[in-house]
Structure 1
Amino acid sequence: MVSIFLRSLLFNILFYPNFVFWLLVALPTLLMPRRAVLRVANWWAQSNIVLMRIICNIRVEYRGVEKIPKGPLIIAAKHQSMWETISLLQFFDQPFFVLKRELLRIPLFGQYLVKANMVAIDRSSGARALKKVMRRAAEEVKHGRQFLIFPEGTRRPPGAPPQYKAGVALIYVDCGVPCLPVALNSGLFWPRRTFLRYPGTLVMEFLDPLPPGLPRDEFMTRIETVIEDATNRLVDAGQAEQAKLFGRVPATVKP
């Protein structure tokens, strides 16, 4: 565990200078089309994956990439870690997601979010915020973009009971486009609320898209079932790998 501590410490020491480096590299994109800033974001994501592999011995595997539809889309992803917020964007040509309005105040980073035309909301507005998200999501999707949403609304540790919100179904019905479910086991290797990073094989799996036009209740049942079943399978495999490496599953990645 000493080695994991030192490797995690080194990764975090390098993570933030790396972030600042790409913020500076991206400066010219403020005068360029939106795709330019998204391209630099993808380079940043790839650089983090390299650091994860070299320093923390975390290998990343993507499955089902061939299932990603072209054109307007909703992407409903399991959310266990900060990692997927960085890494998912690279698979889509015009992605956008919902973020806290406060993030727009971060120097440079906030300006890039505006340039990428992300949807910022005031969470204290409650139902009004959800209505705004639905309206903006429908507008952007109808212009051919891909909307990335985490149906549980926040990060959940591996093995925690699912807490899917109705908002994803409302947006799905309103947009009238396919929905791509995404399962993963990132919380085993990049857990929330700790700086520790654990070695192993981090897997993100794109599942079969759900067609547009499903009734809301049927959609909610299917999206939760397919994501949770696949996520549980990936988590079980990841924990088996960790048990071989450590003789047990690290306590910090349990719910």
Structure 2
Amino acid sequence: MALIQAVRTAIFYLLFLGQTAILAIIVGIIAIIWRRRTAVSWAIANYWRNSNVFMLRWIVGIRTEVEGGETIPPGPCIIAAKHQSDWDIFAILPHTDEKPAYIAKRELIDIPFFGWAAQSIDTISIDRSLGAGAIPTMLAEAKAKVARGCRIVIYPEGTRKAPLADPDYRQGIVRMYEALGVPVIPVALNSGLYWGRNSLVMWPGTARARFLPAIMPGLPAAEFADRLKTLIESETTRLIAEAVAAGIARPLSADFRARLAAATQVAGV
């Protein structure tokens, strides 16, 4: 099973990375010419998302299931999601009202063509080497995007995390909540069970994301931070537990199962 999945994973990555490079060049050239979001750029981004979901399903065996997107209030908002794999981008993109503004690390924006393409669809870059010093610039860019009607997409922990890894929520999301005055939509997911960070093998199954009820503006910073973390972590634990209970192809260690049992008890799921 593992060998077959390794071969399927290699085929997927070959197609995924090759297609991404080609489309980034096309959108990058469009960005150089028009220097703004275009209908063509958005159509290409949608094609990229849909084709990758298709390849995941039919090459690797990973199905995609997203719940709760219809509950997002109209207009600009902040989508704050758990981040376990690149699949998370595919899950969230259709729910950005065609105006996404992803928060991305500066290193990605500096890549020729890819960076130009990302900037053309309102990506907000952040220099992680500056630590908290990068927040003022990020907030200024985010305010400008919200004024244009964008939905900001941020991963509050700043990077991908393995399922059940200790959470590490940064201050950027709290500062953004205070500064922008728009609803925050928490998103829980379990994609890391199937497409793990730096994993050489992707496992079949149903990756799930769940949009949770909006946290409206006006809460004290500490209360907001606690509510966001509690909502995302408890629901992520629930999604992981449901997947494991239903049975998954990925081998799970005794340590993982023990941590899951402890996490479900804490989360009350």
Which stretch shifts more, 233-242 or 55-64?
Answer: 233-242
What is the deviation of 1:239? 2.2
Superposed CA RMSD in Å reads 2.2
Alignment of 1:39-58 (within 5 A): 39-58=43-62
Shift in Å, 1:111: 1.2
Quick one: distance in 1 between partners of 2:25 and 2:142?
29
Q: 1:25-104 alignment to 2 at 5 Å?
A: 25-26=26-27, 29-30=30-31, 31=33, 33-36=36-39, 37-92=41-96, 93-104=98-109
Q: How many residues align?
A: 252
**How far has the Cα of 1:8 moved from its partner?**
1.1
SS in 1 for 2:166: coil
Partner of 2:18: 17
Q: Deviations over 1:7-42 (max 9, x none)?
A: 112111221222234235546743455143233112
Bigger CA drift: 108-117 or 68-77? 108-117
Is contact 1:142–1:175 with CA below 8 Å preserved after alignment? no
Displacement of 1:45 in angstroms is 1.0
Shift of 1:143: 2.8
Unaligned stretches of 5+ in structure 2?
A: 260-269
Alignment match, 1:117: 122
Matching residue of 1:150: 155
Give the Cα–Cα distance (whole angstroms) in 2 for the partners of residues 123 and 152 of structure 1. Answer: 12
SS of the equivalent of 1:38 reads: helix
Distance 1:155 1:11 in 2: 20
User: After TM superposition, which residue ranges in structure 1, 4 or more long, deviate above 4 angstroms?
Assistant: none
8 Å contact kept, 1:188–1:239: no
Structure 2 Cα separation of the partners of residues 130 and 249 of structure 1: 38
**Percent pairwise identity:** 38
Distance 1:165 1:23, change over 3 A: closer
- Take 2:154 and 2:242, find their aligned partners in 1: how far apart are those partners? 25
Cα distance in 1 for residues equivalent to 2:28 and 2:222: 45
Distance between the aligned counterparts of 1:195 and 1:38, measured in 2? 31
TM-score, normalised with respect to structure 1: 0.90
Find the aligned partners of 1:41 and 1:64 in 2 and give their Cα distance: 22
- 1:6 matched residue in structure 2: 7
Structure 1, 201-210 or 104-113: larger mean CA deviation: 104-113
Give, as a single letter, the amino acid of the residue that structure 1 aligns with 2:68. Answer: G
CA distance in 2, matches of 1:71, 1:250: 44
Cα distance, 1:223 vs structure 2: 0.6
2:193 is the alignment partner of 1:181:
no
1:233 and 2:242 matched:
no
Q: Under a length normalisation based on structure 2, what TM-score does the superposition of the two structures give? A: 0.86
